[in-house]
Structure 1
Amino acid sequence: MRIEIWADVVCPWAYIGKRRLERALAGEGAEVVWRPYRIDPSAPAESVPLEDALAEPGAEEMLSACAPGLTPQDNRDRVALIAAEEGLGPSWGAAWRADTADAHRLIALAFEEGGAELQDAVVEGVLRAHFVEARNIGSGEVLADVAREAGFSAGPRLLEAGAGGELVRELLLTGKAMGVKTSPTFVVRGRALAGAQSSEAIVEFVRYAERQEVRELPEEVERLRRAESLLELRDPLGALVLLRPLLESQGEDRGVRSLAARAYFASAQLGRATRELERLVAENPDDSYARHLLGRTLQRRGLDGEAAAHLSLASVMTPGYTG
């Protein structure tokens, strides 16, 4: 059984959730895989002391939204108490506002290089460094130390070489397409449990997910569906990132090309959209949607005369397509 945890390593609930999951699964032998999520994507590339970050205008108001009814300090005290109850004390508290891009690269690379066991050791090291040791996990030196202590000897070299960036980007887009909206989110067989729930709730969730019938789909079908989800979420550039391997390996598949054409149109890559849609229409003149989208693309390019013929034919084939 595989359990995915979509989480950010600057989220205290990710560490608390990790401990609760470990207690819930004691002796189960499940494979736990960590996936990236960003709760602070606007964090500066160079880490800043958290005390300074909290003094910035609007910071306290933003944090108040995380725990309605509590002041930010009261909420931090509450989380520290809960962390201590989970065995994460006595020292607790982040000292840095850190960009987690490199930490996520290290974690993803650990799984690629050594599987779930190595990745877990790296995750534990990153979380401990941030929350217990108050170290700066935006620092390459700190992450290199974490990697070595976890037994991931290749980690520092891979980080320095910039490895893992595209992998993390794809994973972040995959999580978005799946509907992941909070850290942590536990996913088992397509079912999701949001938040650092109690160990009892996690056990109940895992048992429920295990009982559900799941239709396994080929990886390329899953990728196509997730790209379409991103397009529906108005992220056409993200959709194209997920489509890239399919365009390379299945570049003549009509479904892949049609989705790519829609993403090109939605991202204002009108030249690419035109070329792909012209091919689709030439291959299948009765495809009213492709013809309609071609007309709209030509319109946006200011080619009204060429657009009119396609829009007119599309509206005849499918009356709902007008103008």
Structure 2
Amino acid sequence: MRIEIWADVVCPWAYIGKRRLERALAAPETAGLEAEVVWRPFRIDPTAPARAVPLEEALRDPLMDGALARCAPGLTPAENRARVSAIAAEEGLGPPWGAAWRASSHDAHRLLALALDHGGAALQNEVAEQVMKAHFVEGLDISDRSRLKAVAERAGFPEGGPLLDTDAAERAVRESLLVGKARGIATSPTFVVGDRALAGAQAPETIAEFLTAGDRPRRALPEEVERLRYAESLLDRRDPLGALELLRPLLDEHGRDTGVRLLAARAYFASAQLRRARETLEELVAESPDDSYARLLLGRTLQRQGLADEAAVHLRLATTMSPGYA
């Protein structure tokens, strides 16, 4: 069984969730369960600065304080931090406990992706442990690459540190974040097995119940088809630029595929890249004059470009072929 943990390493619940998952896997009801744990990236603070700032300083920002208040309705940020600290202690984390820096986790996620590629799930899990220990127990700035290199050494992944000075895993992490969004991951941590998901650092008993509920493996699809579906999901979630990011390899390798081009045209239109949308749709209409949807979208694109007369021709043909478009 593969257990994916979609989580941010600067989220305290991710570290607590890791401990609770370990307890769930050690429980009698999961005995004999062969589990592979794989970490996937999530960002709880995508606006964190590239250069970390002391957390106490960051917490004086009213916007930051408001964001933390939304994480724990009814509690002040200070009360919530005390509550999380007590729960962490119950899971054997700390003392000391508590992040000291508001730090970007991007490079840490790159290190995790590299560990998975170079050493598999066991190495990646150890890197995740050491990264979160550095952040929450040792109070280190994990956005500092020199710190991450030391963490990688400690985790048994010395080759990972130098790779951070290249662009290794840069694209992989950015794409994984988009895939998580396309799959509806909205909480750190979220445990995923097959097509089932459990959001939050639930109690070990709840996690064990989730794991033993029956693994319904995700139906294996060709990588290109899965990428296309994720891109379409992002477009439906109003992220056309993310959709185009996932479509880029498909456009490079399968640039003449009608489905790929039509989805790209939709993303161009939704992101106001009207010239690209028009060029793509004009090609599609020339190749398939009876494609009413392509004509409809081309007509709307021309409308937005202020070309009302040209748009009218395509819109009229589209509604004639498909009256529902009227």
Return the TM-score normalized by structure 2.
0.95
Aligned position for 1:280: 284
Residues 21-68 of structure 1: CA deviation (Å, up to 9, x unaligned): 112113633111101111111111110111111112243333222222
Shift of 1:214: 4.3
Are 1:149 and 2:154 matched, yes or no? Answer: yes
How far apart in 2 are the matches of 1:97 and 1:213? Answer: 37
Aligned 1:73-92 pairs, distance under 5 A: 73-92=78-97
**SS across alignment from 1:65:** helix
How far apart in 2 are the matches of 1:293 and 1:62? Answer: 39
Aligned position for 2:8: 8
The alignment yields a C-alpha RMSD, in angstroms, of: 1.4
Aligned 1:89-238 pairs, distance under 5 A: 89-210=94-215, 212=216, 214-238=218-242
Contact (CA 8 Å) 1:47, 1:136: kept in 2 or not? yes
| Of 253, 257, 261, the match for 2:257 | 253
Contact (CA 8 Å) 2:5, 2:190: kept in 1 or not? yes
Contact (CA 8 Å) 2:195, 2:217: kept in 1 or not? no
Q: Structure 2: 5+ residue runs without aligned partners?
A: none
| Of 281, 298, 305, the match for 1:301 | 305
What amino acid is the match of 2:255? G
Q: Structure 1: 5+ residue runs without aligned partners?
A: none
| Of 232, 248, 253, the match for 1:244 | 248
Q: Number of residue pairs matched?
A: 321
Contact (CA 8 Å) 1:314, 1:321: kept in 2 or not? yes
Shift of 1:252: 2.1
What amino acid is the match of 1:4? E
**SS across alignment from 1:35:** strand
Shift of 1:249: 2.3
Shift of 1:7: 0.5
**SS across alignment from 1:4:** strand
Alpha-carbon spacing, 1:214–1:123, altered in 2? closer, same or farther (3 Å): closer
What amino acid is the match of 2:249? P
Aligned position for 1:318: 322
Contact (CA 8 Å) 1:24, 1:199: kept in 2 or not? yes
**SS across alignment from 1:39:** coil
Shift of 1:96: 0.5
What amino acid is the match of 1:20? R
How far apart in 2 are the matches of 1:137 and 1:61? Answer: 24
Contact (CA 8 Å) 2:46, 2:104: kept in 1 or not? yes
How far apart in 1 are the matches of 2:191 and 2:91? Answer: 18
Aligned position for 2:295: 291
Contact (CA 8 Å) 2:193, 2:217: kept in 1 or not? no
Contact (CA 8 Å) 1:8, 1:36: kept in 2 or not? yes
**SS across alignment from 1:160:** coil
Q: Percent sequence identity over matched residues?
A: 67
Shift of 1:244: 1.4
Shift of 1:247: 1.7
Contact (CA 8 Å) 2:265, 2:276: kept in 1 or not? yes
Contact (CA 8 Å) 1:10, 1:100: kept in 2 or not? yes
What amino acid is the match of 2:287? E
Aligned position for 1:17: 17
Alpha-carbon spacing, 1:198–1:149, altered in 2? closer, same or farther (3 Å): same
